[in-house]
């Protein structure tokens, strides 16, 4: 088997569906294990090789995706360590678990790629940050990128920035959902149908993101183009700043990254 998943939660399921939809691999090429017997049964019925534990899966696979919660990682690594060999690749999506932590738990300098995906992967619109830790090869890294690229976009970042990237894409959807929630609630307070406000604001987010990606202009220039002197947009932006919008965003960003750093220390 080329690939195995230890953990079959929402994120793993999204990645697997993207891989299958793209034709990169078939069901018979993707092994799965999970502590939940019901999940194992669903994947078995779908044609995937299913294992009762991570050690057996690791023996059979050349690349293993560690799709478990950070607090479960230590136990999982202890379980699979005897099955690991230098040719096998570990791909971890656990927040706050460094490559060095994984290598130390495995007991030798194994091949590791760290990945920070986000939940829009479930719709094929994910954004995944990845970093390569030697001795993982460029070919290993391209393979890892292809797995997540099947359900969205990928971006390589330095290994020492995996905690700092979390507020941008990992937690980013929740931050946008919170902003949308506030916008829609305020629209309702002004007598606008929440469903109508949601449709309009969601499309506004989609269109604005495409403008930011495809126009070649920095955000500051696009903001300038939306604003008219003495107009409504400028009044809103001025009120945001007056009430500390920028400071709130910066504080949230840093709190998120700091928590990731704390998890790194806990999971060492």
Residue at token pair 């500051």: 220
Would you list the DSSP string of 177-236? HHHHHHHHHHHHHTT--HHHHHHHHHHHHHHHHHHHHHS---HHHHHHHH--TTSHHHHH
pLDDT digits (tens, 9 = 90+) for 42-80: 999 999 999 999 999 999 999 999 999 988 999 999 999
CA 79/CA 147 separation, integer angstroms: 24
pLDDT at 266 over 90: no
pLDDT at 167 over 90: yes
CB contact at 8 A, 119 and 94? no
User: Which helix (DSSP H) or strand (DSSP E) does residue 139 occupy?
Assistant: helix 138-149
pLDDT of residue 217: 97
The pTM is what?
0.91
CA 150/CA 18 separation, integer angstroms: 5
- Mean predicted lDDT score pLDDT of the chain: 95
pLDDT digits (tens, 9 = 90+) for 177-189: 999 999 999 999 9
Strand 63-66 with 111-116, pairing: unpaired
Q: What is the dihedral of CA 150, 154, 159, 165, to 10 degrees?
A: -120
pLDDT of residue 231: 96
Would you list the DSSP string of 140-156? HHHHHHHHHHTTEEEEE
CA 233/CA 212 separation, integer angstroms: 18
pLDDT of residue 268: 73
pLDDT of residue 265: 81
What is the DSSP code (8-state) at residue 81?
Answer: G
pLDDT of residue 1: 66
pLDDT of residue 169: 95
Give the CA distances from residue 137 to residues 87, 94, 130, in Å, rounded to whole numbers and listed in that order. Answer: 10, 21, 13
Strand 3-6 with 89-92, pairing: unpaired
pLDDT digits (tens, 9 = 90+) for 85-141: 999 999 999 988 999 999 999 999 999 999 999 999 989 999 999 999 999 999 999
Percentage with pLDDT > 70 across the chain: 100
In the sheet that 3-6 helps form, which strands lie side by side, from edge to edge? 30-33, 3-6, 63-66, 89-92, 111-116, 126-133, 152-156
User: Which helix (DSSP H) or strand (DSSP E) does residue 126 occupy?
Assistant: strand 126-133
Residue at token pair 């079959």: 8
Provide CB contacts within 8 A for 32, sequence distance 6+. 4, 5, 8, 12, 16, 39, 40, 43, 48, 49, 50, 51, 57
């Amino acid at each position: 088997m080329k690939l195995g998943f230890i953990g079959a939660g929402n994120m793993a399921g999204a990645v697997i569906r993207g891989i299958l939809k793209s034709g990169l691999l078939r069901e018979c090429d993707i092994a799965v294990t999970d502590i939940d017997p019901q999940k194992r049964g669903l994947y078995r019925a779908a044609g995937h090789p299913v294992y009762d534990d991570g050690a057996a899966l690791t023996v059979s696979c050349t690349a293993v995706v560690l799709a478990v919660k950070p607090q479960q990682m230590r136990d999982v690594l202890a379980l699979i360590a005897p099955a690991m060999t230098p040719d096998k690749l570990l791909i971890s999506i656990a927040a706050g678990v460094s490559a060095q932590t994984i290598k130390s738990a495995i007991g030798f300098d194994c091949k590791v790629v760290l990945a920070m995906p986000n939940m829009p992967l479930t719709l094929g619109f994910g954004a995944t940050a990845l970093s390569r830790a030697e001795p993982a090869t460029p070919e290993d890294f391209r393979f890892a990128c292809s797995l997540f690229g099947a359900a969205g976009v990928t971006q390589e970042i330095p290994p020492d920035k995996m905690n700092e990237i979390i507020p941008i894409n990992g937690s980013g959807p929740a931050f946008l959902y919170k902003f949308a929630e506030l916008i829609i609630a305020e629209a309702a307070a002004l007598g606008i149908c929440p469903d109508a406000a949601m449709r309009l604001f969601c499309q506004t987010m989609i269109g604005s993101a495409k403008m930011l990606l495809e126009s070649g202009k920095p955000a500051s220039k696009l903001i300038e183009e939306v604003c008219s002197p003495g107009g409504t947009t400028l009044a809103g932006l001025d009120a945001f700043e007056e009430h500390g919008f920028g400071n709130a965003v910066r504080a949230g960003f840093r709190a998120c990254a700091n928590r990731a750093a704390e998890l790194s220390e806990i999971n060492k």
